[in-house]
Homo-oligomer: A and B are copies of this chain.
């Protein structure tokens, strides 16, 4: 590894970062050594963010560090897992001290807040900036939230608001291509929602631990596409109430309700949870949602498999036809 990469050590082995008791050996040997608590199952997820595919080259390094961690934690949240450790594979066109300092600041802000330890990784040179994080956590096997565990009659819920991530992405694209200049507070809100998604860790853990839900995923490719994964794996179908889709005031103000709904259905990068539960679990859900201050909204229900129409849409109680394509990164 090139000698100037020595400076990386100072940014990724920070004395103020979290030291967990279950980390026997961290950065600096061939491998990290880790203890998984007795009775717990290990969960592992990997996400890559590549320049010009997942972010524009002008992204602030702080935002990139934050978002790369957040999107991985969102996958852990979607299993109902407790996050523990991450590995970081960072590919850089050059080693720039200010850039690394800001990137690591964004990363450690979220890691430290959640008591998660960086346990190792690899830093390499390459033409394109790229961040791959592998996140590790724990869950009780019997309570994990899996995509194949939806049941007929379950209500479908989402956390937070939908469509903000995709709207923020469009705004970032406009800014990058100089089609417009920096915007008002609504635009700023949506951009922030894209760059700083909130992994719903507490909610996911409560859904699992208190057996509120058996089935969840995180919305990274858009509600229609992602709900499709639940339906495919569970071999069921769904009816969605368009009127119920939770959209932020900022999204509605900028796009109007109808376009906001489309963004909510199609939108990628929301990193909210979509989960299903038996109607009798509603009081328990509302109790924990209130405790964690996370809005949750019932947006439809799981029904028997309908191969022709895995998802049917309703507005004001009536079936309507909608063509929604799933979100694809840039391409």
Chain A contacts to B: CB under 8 angstroms? 1-3, 24-25, 28-36, 38, 41-54, 75-76, 78-79, 81, 85, 87-89, 91, 119-122, 124-128, 130, 132, 134, 136-137, 139, 141, 144, 146-148, 216-218, 221, 233, 328-331
A5-B218 Cα distance, complex, nearest whole Å: 20
Query: Which residues of B are found within 8 Å of A233, using beta-carbon distances?
Result: 28-29
Query: Which residues of B are found within 8 Å of A139, using beta-carbon distances?
Result: 33
A48: contacting residue among B42, B91, B144, B331, CB under 8 A: B91
Query: How many copies, total?
Result: 2
Establish whether residues A132 and B43, one from each chain, have CB atoms under 8 Å apart when the complex forms: no
Establish whether residues A34 and B42, one from each chain, have CB atoms under 8 Å apart when the complex forms: yes
Establish whether residues B125 and A329, one from each chain, have CB atoms under 8 Å apart when the complex forms: yes
Query: Which residues of B are found within 8 Å of A45, using beta-carbon distances?
Result: 30-32, 120
Nearest CB on B from A103, distance (A): 16
Establish whether residues A44 and B146, one from each chain, have CB atoms under 8 Å apart when the complex forms: no
Among A33, A47, A132, residue most surrounded by chain B Cβ atoms (within 10 Å): A132
Q: What residue in chain B is nearest A42 (Cβ atoms)?
A: B34
The verdict on A43 contacting B50 (CB below 8 Å), with A122-B132, A132-B122, A132-B132 known, is no
Query: Which residues of B are found within 8 Å of A28, using beta-carbon distances?
Result: 147, 233
A318-B122 Cα distance, complex, nearest whole Å: 39
Establish whether residues A46 and B221, one from each chain, have CB atoms under 8 Å apart when the complex forms: no
A34: contacting residue among B41, B49, B148, CB under 8 A: B41
A45-B25 Cα distance, complex, nearest whole Å: 12
Query: Which residues of B are found within 8 Å of A48, using beta-carbon distances?
Result: 89, 91, 122, 124, 132
Establish whether residues B38 and A38, one from each chain, have CB atoms under 8 Å apart when the complex forms: yes
A29-B3 Cα distance, complex, nearest whole Å: 40
Nearest CB on B from A232, distance (A): 10
Q: What residue in chain B is nearest A141 (Cβ atoms)?
A: B24
A329-B134 Cα distance, complex, nearest whole Å: 24
Knowing that A28-B233, A29-B233 are A-B contacts, what are 4 other residue pairs whose CB atoms are under 8 Å apart, sorted by A's residue number? A30-B216, A44-B85, A48-B122, A126-B128
